[in-house]
Amino acid sequence: MDATRFTAADLADTGQWRLILHIDEGGMSGWLATATPGDIPPGALFGARWADRRDNILKEIENTVYDHPRVLDDYSTDIILATDRVMWVPESELEVDNAEETIYTALFPTLGGEAMADTLGPVPALFTSGAGLKAFIGRTFAGARVRCQMSLTAAAACTPSGRARVIIDIRQGKADMVIADRGDFKAGVSHDWGAPADIVYHLFQLLDVLAVDASGADILLAGDPATAQAVADILSALPSLPAVAIHDSSSMPLSVALCAAKGDLQIFKTFSKL
């Protein structure tokens, strides 16, 4: 469903829709998904890009929100943050009051007051994405569900399977990798990259550390389309090629599709040797 197909009446009936906002260091997009997952894909409301300002993105986010006031309507809202500032913790560690702050700031003392927790993935994630963002979300989108992008992809990778599964979501300068082996969560990390070969190197290094057989893995590439294709081309030249697929992120980020489907998106249904 394309945003141009929305009628004014559709948009006015906020009960029909869930608002999904996707934010990373370099931009933001807004989507409307049906309140109950179905055959209608999410429709784009807007997309905005800016220079990567990871330490001061709040102003850009505020300006984008106020440039698109429809997102302030009374929608049920999910906010997805794509960030490398993620810490995976045992669920038992979150049982004490203010645990996310205590644990997170033990390693990142400059980010006090900014930690958020996503407990809906296979392992709880503590994360943040810029100074002042947590308070802004609380003021502007009270009651919104704030999701860590890697929690969404980790949950997808951990769906029951007899194979290892890898999801690599590629954005400007960062590659977020989650790995599950036969449904068990193994790792969720972000790596810097300057060339597609860097992503392949980090992938096989991580698989080696985790003792996961690459030739028996399903690998899903998402994010920047050109880089995803370049990574797939490198993988296709390897003698023991894993099963590889590419999610078309030019139309919608993978995490938005997963969020809209409430985790029921069968992204590993079909794979082909590239």
Whole-number percent of the chain with pLDDT over 70: 88
Question: What is the token pair recorded at 246?
Answer: 């590419």
51 residue type, one letter? A
pLDDT at 37 over 80: no
Q: Which candidate, 258, 224, 253, places its Cα nearest to that of 44?
A: 253
- Nearest CA to 134 among 118, 148, 113? 113
Q: Are 168 and 221 in contact (CB under 8 A)?
A: yes
Above 50 in pLDDT, residue 273? no
- Alpha-carbon dihedral sign for residues 245, 89, 110, 57: positive
What's the CATH fold of domain 3-84+118-148? Nucleotidyltransferase; domain 5 (3.30.420)
Predicted confidence (pLDDT) per residue in 41-87, tens digit: 788 999 999 876 666 788 999 999 999 998 998 899 999 999 998 99
pLDDT at 3: 42
Confidence of residue 104 (pLDDT cuts 50, 70, 90): confident
Q: Is 79 exposed, middle or buried (0-12, 13-18, 19+ CB in 10 A)?
A: buried
Structure confidence at residue 271 (pLDDT)? 43
Query: Would strands 27-34 and 17-24 be described as parallel, antiparallel, or unpaired?
Result: antiparallel
Q: Where are the chain's structural domains?
A: 3-84+118-148, 151-260
Can you tell me the mean pLDDT for 236-256? 84
CATH architecture classification, 151-260: 2-Layer Sandwich (3.30)
| Sign of the alpha-carbon torsion through 160, 164, 165, 166 | positive
The sign of the torsion formed by the CA atoms of 108, 109, 113, 117 equals positive
Distance between CA atoms of residues 73 and 88, nearest Å:
33
d(CA 53, CA 170): 17
Kindly report the average pLDDT of the chain as a whole number: 86
Task: Give me the pLDDT at residue 9, please.
Answer: 63
Kindly indicate the confidence band of residue 129, based on its pLDDT and cuts at 50, 70 and 90: confident
Q: Residue 10: is its pLDDT beyond 70? A: no
Asked if the domains at 3-84+118-148 and 151-260 fall in one CATH topology, the answer is: yes
Share above pLDDT 90 across residues of the chain, in percent, rounded to a whole number = 50
Average pLDDT over residues 18-43: 86
pLDDT reading at 36 higher than 80? no
Query: Is the CB of residue 261 less than 8 Å from the CB of residue 208?
Result: no
